[in-house]
């Protein structure tokens, strides 16, 4: 499991709105449909895995509770990858965002392989998640001035 927690200095609702906008954009790019994301929505798209191989995944929005939580599962031929953003408002324009990513393989050999690969990719994945959260913070800060 990968977990990153960052304190961001943005409005909780603006952060969640940006997250929803990004989800809606991803859905539109994958399906051609313009929709407002909602819990239970499913769609398919082609993605690259950590080693660069492409494959189709089915994405299900498993939770969408503004402005507190977004989570989704990504089902591939290898198993389930689950991501979540948990947002806690500390005070006005100050939030803690926890990003979690988990994988559950379809077999023990896939689980073992993932754990081995995660050993090599964990640091990079944490840095990527932190960078994404900081980029959202920067975008919101720049667009509010």
Query: DSSP string covering 61-94, please?
Result: EEEEETTTEEEEEEEETTEEEEEEEEEEEEETTE
pTM, 2 dp: 0.86
Higher pLDDT, 132 or 123: 132
68 burial (CB, 10 Å; 0-12 / 13-18 / 19+) is middle
Looking up residue 52, the CATH number of its domain turns out to be 3.30.530.20
Q: Position of tokens 């389930």? A: 80
The pLDDT, as a whole number, for residue 8 is: 97
Q: How many domains does the chain have?
A: 1
**What tens digit of pLDDT does each residue of 4-56 get?**
999 999 999 999 999 999 999 999 999 999 999 999 999 999 987 666 678 89
Distances (CA, A) of 130 to 56, 62, 91: 26, 22, 21
Q: Which of these, 11, 22, 14, lies nearest to 95 by C-alpha position?
A: 11
The pLDDT, as a whole number, for residue 33 is: 95
Domain that holds residue 115: 2-143
d(CA 91, CA 99): 19
Higher pLDDT, 106 or 22: 22
Higher pLDDT, 133 or 111: 133
d(CA 137, CA 69): 17
128 burial (CB, 10 Å; 0-12 / 13-18 / 19+) is middle
**What tens digit of pLDDT does each residue of 116-131 get?**
666 667 788 889 999 9
Q: Which residues pair with 98 in a beta bridge?
A: 5, 86
Q: Which of these, 69, 74, 59, lies nearest to 20 by C-alpha position?
A: 69
User: pLDDT class for 79, splitting at 50, 70, 90?
Assistant: confident
């Amino acid at each position: 499991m990968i977990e990153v927690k960052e304190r961001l200095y943005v409005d909780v609702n603006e952060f969640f709105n940006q997250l929803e906008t990004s989800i809606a954009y991803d859905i539109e790019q994958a399906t051609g449909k313009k929709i407002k994301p909602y819990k239970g929505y499913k769609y398919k798209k082609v993605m690259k895995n950590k080693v660069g191989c492409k494959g189709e995944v089915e994405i299900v929005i498993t939770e969408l509770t503004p402005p507190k939580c977004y989570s989704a599962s990504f089902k591939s031929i290898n198993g389930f990858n689950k991501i979540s953003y948990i947002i806690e408002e500390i005070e006005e324009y100050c939030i803690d965002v926890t990003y979690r990513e988990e994988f559950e393989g379809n077999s023990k050999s896939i689980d073992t392989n993932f754990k081995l690969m995660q050993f090599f990719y964990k640091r990079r994945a944490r840095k990527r998640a932190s960078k994404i959260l900081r980029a959202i913070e920067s975008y919101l800060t720049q667009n509010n001035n």
